[in-house]
Amino acid sequence: MTLSALKSQTKLTAFGVYVPDRILTNNDMEKLVDTSDEWIVQRTGIRERRISADDEYCSDLCYAAVANMQARYAVNLADVDYIIVATSTPDTFFPSMAARVQAKFGIRSCGALDIQAACAGFVAALQLANGLLLTGVHRKILIIGADALSKATDYTDRSTCILFGDGAGAALLEWTEDGTLLGSYTATSGASGHHLYRSSLSADIDGHPIQTTGKIVQDGREVYKWAVTQVPKGITALLENNGRTTEEIDWFVPHSANMRIVESVCERTGIPLEKTLASMELFGNTSAASIPLALDLAIRDGRINKGDLCLLYGFGGGLTEAAVLLEWSL
């Protein structure tokens, strides 16, 4: 576990998102597997999800989210000096999606890397960007959380296929004298990683045999038990270390995995459910994109305002956790 309180030199200065056009509803899911709209909504809170086109991949989602950010904030990317993309579904392992973004937007000279922290990816990228900015070497960093999970979903497995959708979120972070990243928390439960995985080269994880289809495999019961136990502990630790209380939080923005998890976390921490921002109802579980998509919904309907104190909490495959206290600056 890593936990810190800080007054950083990091400020979020621009933000953008993208979801594909195709909508896959719960009624559509009924035609694929033995399920129903009522069953899915009761257990997950999901009503529909966005699905990328056959020729649309993670890189395309990244490009579109950055273009949306440019259109909304008229930002100049020419002086971006680092790009971090969080994804579990890259088009290719290399070149990285970050390198593809660098090429697409003609950013002249910058560092570029992908990170894989599954559903904690966007917040982990935010934490890494903050560290790079604190060195004083970097001044402007582009982070993206993007996943094309539909391309790694087994649509014969009703326990997983009802969950996942595609999307991307981008944010520009810049060095400033009056930073708005106020605290950070990370934790890992690697010994339980075999409960949620996507295979690559090996047929086992620390002695646990796994499926080698390259599709997402999840033991939903075990992941649920882990999340509703560990996330409240992390929230408590982060708030206590920063001298904050749940009453001071304006918006809790957890990874939009499953509404039952979110409700349980709120119940155990005392955070009112009405202070929670989520994106799973319209977009499903979009992994690294779920937190920016939830923020965007609140931006668009005017719920979130400059100066609001936000608790962003990513959790998922790894099993990984990454959280920040962030004063909203847009």
Q: Active-site residues: which are they?
A: 119, 255, 285
CB atoms within 10 A of CB 54: 7
* CA atoms 117, 118, 120, 122: torsion sign: positive
DSSP 271-320: --GGGB---HHHH-B-GGGHHHHHHHHHHHTT---TT-EEEEEEEETTTE
Residue type, 131: G
Structure tokens at 31: 């035609």
- What are residue 72's phi and psi, to 5 degrees? -80, -30
Q: What's the Rg (C-alpha) of the chain?
A: 18
Structure tokens at 115: 């990170």
Q: Are 173 and 10 in contact (CB under 8 A)?
A: yes
| Burial letters 215-237, b for 16+ CB under 10 A, else e | bbbbebeebbebbbebbbebbeb
CB atoms within 10 A of CB 12: 21
CA distance 283 to 289: 10
